[in-house]
């Protein structure tokens, strides 16, 4: 009887939400960026939206674009601001928000079962 994967030398995994809980850290990152957008708009004298409105739009736009396969976070912020009716934001600001997003999102915790499974594979020299 043959064993599946008996000849496997390597296994590749999708990282986010497979090995690590990326969803939780992404939510925290979107929350942080929403707060930064709120503060930026106030500081720049643009518009003063309630923070909850900004969060609602950022989360909605990011969810829609993510489902469409759009991974460019700069575009997420640009489309969010368009939905709020805000124009004329310097593109460099989008990069700052994207850097902030990834600084939070990269703090994803591994799933406990994933660590056990990876140890199992390592013990099998895979």
pTM, rounded to two decimals:
0.81
Tokens for 8? 């496997």
User: Between residues 71 and 125, which one has the greater pLDDT?
Assistant: 71
pLDDT value for 29: 98
> What are 18-72's pLDDT values in tens digits?
888 889 999 999 999 999 999 999 999 888 899 999 999 999 999 999 999 999 9
Give the tokens for residue 7: 């000849």
What is the enclosing helix (H) or strand (E) of 45?
A: none
Contacts of 33 (CB under 8 A, 6+ apart): 58, 77, 97, 100, 101
pLDDT, tens only, 60-91: 999 999 999 999 999 999 999 999 999 989 99
């Amino acid at each position: 009887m043959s064993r599946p994967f008996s000849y496997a030398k390597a296994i590749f995994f999708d990282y986010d939400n497979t090995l690590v809980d990326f969803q939780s850290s992404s939510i925290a990152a979107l929350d942080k960026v929403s707060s930064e957008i709120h503060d930026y708009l106030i500081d720049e004298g643009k518009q003063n939206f309630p923070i909850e409105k900004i969060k609602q739009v950022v989360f909605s736009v990011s969810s829609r674009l993510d489902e469409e396969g759009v991974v460019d976070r700069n575009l997420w912020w640009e489309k969010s601001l368009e939905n709020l009716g805000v124009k004329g934001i310097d593109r460099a600001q989008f990069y700052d928000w994207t850097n902030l997003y990834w600084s939070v999102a990269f703090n994803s915790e591994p799933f406990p079962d994933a660590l056990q499974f990876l140890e199992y594979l390592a013990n099998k020299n895979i």
